[in-house]
Amino acid sequence: MSIFHWRSYGLLFVLGIAAIVGLSGLNAADDALEQRRAASAVFEPLHAKMLRDDNLIDEMADLSARVRLLRVRWDHGILAVDLAASAPADLWLDAKSLITFAFKDKNNVGQLLIRVFNGNNEDHVLLSSIETLKSDWADKQIDRLRPTDLELDQGVASRIRMTVTPAGERWKRNFAN
pTM for this one? Answer: 0.69
Indicate whether 93 and 116 sit together in one domain.
Answer: yes
Q: How far is CA 94 from CA 4, 42, 77, 98, in A?
A: 83, 27, 20, 6
Indicate whether 94 and 151 sit together in one domain.
Answer: yes
Pairing between β-strand 111-118 and β-strand 78-85 as defined by DSSP bridges: parallel
Indicate whether 70 and 122 sit together in one domain.
Answer: yes
Model confidence pLDDT, tens digit, residues 58-113: 888 877 777 888 899 999 899 999 988 878 777 888 888 899 899 988 889 999 99
3-state DSSP assignment of residue 117:
strand
Region 25-45 average pLDDT: 61
Measure the CA–CA gap between 138 and 42, rounded to whole angstroms.
Answer: 34
Q: How confident is the model at residue 143 (pLDDT cuts 50, 70, 90)?
A: confident
Residue that wins the pLDDT comparison between 35 and 137: 137
User: What are phi and psi for residue 29, nearest 5 degrees?
Assistant: -65, -40
H-run or E-run covering 66: none
Q: Confirm if 136 and 99 have CB atoms less than 8 A apart.
A: no
Assess if residue 51 is contained within a domain: no
Structural domain total, the chain? 2
